[in-house]
Homo-oligomer: A and B are copies of this chain.
Amino acid sequence: MRTVIECVPNVSEGADRAAVEAIAASVRSAPGVRLLDVSSDPSHNRSVLTFVGDGDGIRAGVAALFDAALPRIDLTRQRGEHPRVGAVDVVPIIPIRGATLAECVALSREVGAAIADRHGVPVYLYEDSASAEHRRNLADIRRGEFEGLAAKMEDPRWKPDFGPERPHATAGAVVVGARAPLIAYNINLGTADVSIADRIAKSIRHIGGGFRYVKAMGVELSDRKLAQVSINMTNFKKTPLHRVFECVRSEAARYGVPIVGSEIVGLTPADALFAAAEHYLRIEKFSPDQVLETRLLEEE
């Protein structure tokens, strides 16, 4: 597989295992798709599927997802802790290997248009695919949820990018867009004082003057008596893990606090770890093609 694009759709069903399995089976059987993971949260009543493919695979996988999800999820009756605006709530499309973010933006527009045509569901483009700045953030698009959607759509600022200008009766709307891979990366400090983690989080995050592609907050790990800087790395190519790690190390040292460990939550692209090895080992002219497993993926 020379081109690897990841798609991580969130669907508004996490309690009915038969329904989730039917949706997963539909995606799994789509041509050119590899379904890597399905995680369901019953109290959120939400499931996250992870699948990969090239452009054709992503198109086929999303179509198969909608085919199976729409008859099984009725938002007029669905309840859960997690906010949602659609039966298929959000469809992020993420370049991993052999595809650029710009190519995934173009793909997301094709996928959005196809959803509107084939399923009659209104589509909002978000993140790097957003057609206007106020529609870039998922939370802003989702505000008001399914129940408030019909009223919201009357505002010209919330006209959908594709499809009907009213909600689908049972499926609401869907938010589709391209974004860079996100890495959930937490750094654990050798202190129980969460205020130190808070101050460090504020210093490294974009909103506070820190790194452009970092979101962070301080968290207390009470069972381990540690404080944690909990980080979302929203573009590891432009803001790499090692740079954030070294900045946290330096800030923590100012309080006399060491870093005792870090965690990657969920999946990471291999390139994020190769970049850290390349940095610390000072490797010259490194190419992912020097990695045996990369060759294996490319030889497929």
Contact = CB atoms under 8 A, between A and B. Distances in A.
Contact of A284 (B34, B245, B261, B293): B261
A161 interface: no
A34 to B, nearest CB: 5
A284 B36 contact: no
Contacts of A4: 292-293, 296
> How many copies of this chain does the complex contain?
2
Contacts of A188: 284
Interface in A18-62: 34, 36-37, 52
Contact of A277 (B36, B97, B266, B276): B276
Nearest to A52: B296
A139 interface: no
B276 A280 contact: yes
Contact of A270 (B263, B267, B270, B300): B270
A281 interface: yes
B296 A269 contact: no
B292 A34 contact: no
A290 B266 contact: yes
Interface in A280-299: 280-286, 290-297, 299
B280 A280 contact: yes
Interface of A: 1, 4, 6, 34, 36-37, 52, 96-97, 188, 241-242, 245, 259-264, 266-270, 273-274, 276-286, 290-297, 299-300
Given A4-B292, A36-B296, A96-B292, 6 more contacts: A36-B299, A262-B281, A264-B283, A264-B290, A267-B290, A270-B293
Q: 3 closest A-B pairs (Cβ-Cβ)?
A: A276-B277, A273-B277, A261-B284
